[in-house]
């Protein structure tokens, strides 16, 4: 989908905020640790390539993505030398593509390892595919779980002519929680799994943003820096940030239509809003096809430094707001970001629709142009 550049709704990304967050986290690392920027899902909605380039400038030494296409996008953007790890399952039949592009893949199971080895053997490759072995310590998604699997995987890597064990990793389910019992349970399981691999492994990593921020990058020489890189607190508001995170994204649009309605006029699909007095109603050119959930009805946007509620249901391409006065067509409306002395954060939006901050930004569709500051 091409961005809708002839419509005045846009996501504005401050790349200096990205750099600042990366620099601040890099300053906390030990000499043995490095930072990989997690730019999956189009950089959490911020734009993968631009974010990756900014993160590299600030000290990131590699990248994590969710699928092979995302990895190739970075390679095609001249990020040709840095390590790139695909964190999710990739069909073994595509392993040779990853090998040719020097992209590391995640081994999600013993079956994946054997099938991938077979595929590369058939391809008669003389080089080894770099693989990070995933240990499922309690997320329940992908990864090896029991000791017999660890033993078999360790032996396979020792004898394989096509697979190189570049990394060993896991993912914590509750690193952003005040309670630590389950986190400690997963720690113990990872240490047990790690004991089965006595070969030299370049990358050991357990640390997503939350583990990096609040658990000192436990048992990791690589930090997978995701949510926090974009200036969002992974815990929401449960835990205090060790340094000030700078939000990178603003979401802005304009008023395209305004009218004064008398009392008892109905607004929107399902007529879920009715005016109670003479009210100024503005229309905005942004809707759920751009990533605004219908549940945003009632959420306050900012116009001229004043809050204005969304009234009526969010439409596919438009939504309506209640204003205190008439404003000119083209007046800026801030959905996320600063406007005058007011601010709406992604966290504010997330709390209103009962989700997490990075779901808010990931939901922003490709129809919205991304405008970059401080390139």
pLDDT at 299: 98
Q: Residue 151's closest CA among 138, 164, 133?
A: 133
Q: Is 44 a catalytic residue?
A: no
Cβ neighbours around 285 below 10 Å, total: 18
Which is the catalytic residue, given 40, 50, 96, 130? Answer: 40
φ and ψ of 151, to 5 deg: -60, -45
Q: Is 101 strand, coil or helix?
A: coil
pLDDT at 332: 98
Per-residue pLDDT of the chain in tens (375 residues, 90 and over written 9): 899 999 999 999 999 999 999 999 999 999 999 999 999 999 999 999 999 999 999 999 999 999 999 999 999 999 999 999 999 999 999 999 999 999 999 999 999 999 999 999 999 999 999 999 999 999 999 999 999 999 999 999 999 999 999 999 999 999 999 999 999 999 999 999 999 999 999 999 999 999 999 999 999 999 999 999 999 999 999 999 999 999 999 999 999 999 999 999 999 999 999 999 999 999 999 999 999 999 999 999 999 999 999 999 999 999 999 999 999 999 999 999 999 999 999 999 999 999 999 999 999 999 999 999 999
CATH superfamily of 249-344: Lyase, Ornithine Decarboxylase; Chain A, domain 1 (2.40.37.10)
Binding residues for substrate: 141, 316
Q: Is 40 a catalytic residue?
A: yes
CATH placement of domain 15-230: 3.20.20.10
pLDDT at 234: 97
β-bridge mates for residue 283, sequence order: 257, 320
Tell me how far apart the alpha carbons of residues 123 and 104 are, in angstroms, rounded to a whole number.
17
Which is the catalytic residue, given 93, 122, 259, 269? Answer: 269
pLDDT at 1: 84
Tell me how far apart the alpha carbons of residues 59 and 22 are, in angstroms, rounded to a whole number.
7
Question: Any idea where the domains of the chain sit in the sequence?
Answer: 15-230, 249-344
Tell me the two tokens of residue 344: 């709406």
To 5 degrees, how large is the angle CA 55–CA 363–CA 34?
25
Binding residues: 141, 316
Tell me how far apart the alpha carbons of residues 98 and 75 are, in angstroms, rounded to a whole number.
11
Q: What is the pTM assigned to this prediction?
A: 0.96
Q: Residue 368's closest CA among 279, 282, 285?
A: 285
Name residues whose C-beta falls within 8 Å of residue 104's C-beta, 6 or more positions apart in sequence: 83, 84, 85, 86, 98, 129, 130, 131, 132, 166, 167
């Amino acid at each position: 989908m091409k961005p809708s550049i002839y419509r005045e709704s846009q996501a504005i990304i401050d790349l200096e905020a990205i750099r600042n967050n990366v620099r601040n986290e890099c300053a906390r690392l030990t000499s043995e640790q490095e930072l990989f920027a997690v730019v999956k899902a189009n950089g959490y909605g911020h734009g993968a390539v631009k974010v990756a380039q900014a993160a590299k400038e600030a000290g990131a030494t590699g990248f994590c993505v969710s699928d092979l296409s995302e990895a190739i996008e970075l390679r095609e953007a001249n990020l040709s030398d840095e390590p790139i790890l695909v964190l999710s399952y990739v069909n073994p039949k595509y392993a040779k593509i990853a090998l040719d592009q020097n992209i590391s893949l995640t081994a999600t199971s013993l079956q994946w390892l054997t099938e991938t080895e077979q595929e590369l053997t058939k391809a008669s490759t003389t080089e080894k595919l770099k693989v990070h072995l995933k240990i499922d310590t309690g997320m329940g998604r992908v990864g090896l779980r029991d000791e017999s699997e660890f033993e078999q995987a360790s032996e396979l890597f020792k004898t394989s002519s096509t697979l190189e064990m570049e990394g060993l990793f896991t993912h914590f389910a509750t690193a952003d929680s005040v309670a630590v019992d389950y986190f400690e349970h997963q720690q113990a399981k990872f240490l047990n799994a790690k004991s089965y691999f006595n070969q030299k492994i370049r990358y050991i990593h357990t640390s997503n943003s939350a583990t990096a921020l609040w658990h000192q990058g436990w048992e990791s020489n690589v930090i997978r820096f995701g949510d926090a890189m974009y200036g969002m607190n992974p815990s929401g508001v449960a835990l205090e940030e060790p340094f000030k995170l700078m939000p990178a994204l603003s979401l802005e649009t304009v008023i395209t239509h305004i009218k004064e309605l008398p009392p008892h006029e109905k607004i929107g699909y399902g007529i879920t809003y009715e005016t109670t007095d003479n009210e100024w109603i503005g229309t905005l050119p942004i809707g759920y096809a751009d990533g605004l959930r219908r549940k945003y009805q009632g959420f306050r946007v900012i116009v001229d430094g004043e809050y204005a509620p969304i009234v009526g249901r969010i439409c596919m391409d438009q939504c309506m707001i209640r204003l205190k006065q008439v404003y000119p067509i083209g007046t800026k409306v801030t959905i996320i970001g600063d406007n005058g002395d007011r601010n709406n954060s992604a966290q504010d939006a997330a709390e209103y629709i009962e989700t997490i901050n990075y779901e808010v930004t990931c939901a922003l569709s490709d129809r919205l142009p991304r405008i970059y500051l401080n390139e």
